[in-house]
Structure 1
Amino acid sequence: MLYHIRCKKGDKTVRTIKEVVGHHFVQGQPGLLMAHCQNDERVFINFDHFDFLDFSNGWAKGEAIVAQKAAEAKKNEPPQPPPEPVINGPGGAS
């Protein structure tokens, strides 16, 4: 599904990125979003420069920020240790 992203400052749309097929956060670059366009163009958006990002697929800047923070927090979590083996009864594993 194609969608577009409108970048706004105040009430004025200063940039519209059309025919977007997907977007993701650039790893290690807080506040930077990369939009993948249908023509294989990659557009980088620093959403700290804009007051509002309007995604025609229903996303908004606030949701983008929350999603990025969740992704960063998950990336920074320490690795989980492997689960302990289950031992059934005094004779060991069965």
Structure 2
Amino acid sequence: MNDSLAVVDANFQMAQSGTGTGYLNIEDTRSLLDFTAGKGRTFHTVEAFLIHEDGGMQLDLDYSLLGLESEGEMLSEDITALYYQKLAAAEALPVEYLFKIWI
């Protein structure tokens, strides 16, 4: 297993724990989403934090995923597609985000 795959796998394992991942940047979040989707799974919860110039962090619900976002059950593929859209929208902004993820 190469180093980058080992890191993604370690993040996948942490995301399945009660504490979730550490704070991941957009690139690492996308890699974890790809890896998770490849296993037929998806994110359950994502907390997105806007990083201020002074280093402070603020939860941003626009780019978070707090459980299921619709009434009833969503398919894993639909949740994955929704989160790819949220990541693309966050990446287009001139600010930095960090993400904490649970599967």
TM score, norm. by length of structure 1: 0.30
User: Which structure has more RCO (C-alpha within 8 Å, separation ≥ 6)?
Assistant: 2
The structure whose residues are more often strand, as a share, is 1
Larger radius of gyration: 1
TM score, norm. by length of structure 2: 0.28
